[in-house]
Amino acid sequence: MHVLLLNGPNLNLLGQRETGIYGHSSLADIEAALSREAEQESVQLDCFQSNFEGALVDRIHRAMGRCDGILINAGAYTHTSIAIRDALAGVAIPYVELHLSNTHAREKFRHHSFLAERAVGVICGFGPASYSLALKGLLSYLRPNA
């Protein structure tokens, strides 16, 4: 089974950026821990981060027919990007939306997500553990009888 982990803008700065909100783990730390967890579940995890909306759209397109599920932290594009929503709908790959912070406890503009409506589920507010919880949720959806 193949799962794609997508991270959007500014998430390359994790560990240095607003650590009071996002914590001290770097994206490399998070990707390494999640890859280990995925391996234990016999899942091949591909990781991709970009600060560019079009690059994220292109990466979603490349997953079509090759990937069983997507984990996406689209960062600020969560709240703005119809293009990413349409790309996810277009490839018809089940996805889980995730966030480190509880976006509902923050500024009003973070309360709306263009991706949530079509997601299998949404995980937010657990810091780096959101990634692990999102993988568990996605796998329980993809392997309901496991």
CB atoms within 10 A of CB 1: 15
Total residues at interface with ligand DQA (CB under 6 A): 10
Instruction: Report residue 130 as tokens.
Output: 């959101």
Show contacts with ligand DQA in window 14-43 (CB under 6 A).
none
Residue 3 CB contacts under 8 Å (≥ 6 apart), including other chains: 38, 43, 44, 45, 46, 67, 68, 69, 70, 71, 135, 138
Residue of 2, 10, 59, 94 interacting with ligand DQA (CB under 6 A): 10
Closest to ligand DQA by CB, 21 or 64: 21
Instruction: Tell whether residue 5 is a contact of ligand DQA (CB under 6 A).
Output: no
Query: Which of 85, 145, 142 is CA-nearest to residue 119?
Result: 85
Q: Which is nearer to ligand DQA, 36 or 112 (CB)?
A: 112
Is residue 99 involved in binding ligand DQA (CB under 6 A)?
yes
What is the distance between the alpha carbons of residues 3 and 38, in angstroms, rounded to a whole number? Answer: 9
| Catalytic (active site) residue 95 | no
Asked if 49 touches ligand DQA (CB under 6 A), the answer is no
Q: Per-residue x/- mask for ligand DQA, residues 56 to 95, rule CB under 6 A?
A: -----------------x-xx-x-----------------
* 113 sits near ligand DQA (criterion: CB under 6 A): no
Binding site for ligand DQA (CB under 6 A): 10, 73, 75-76, 78, 99-101, 103, 110
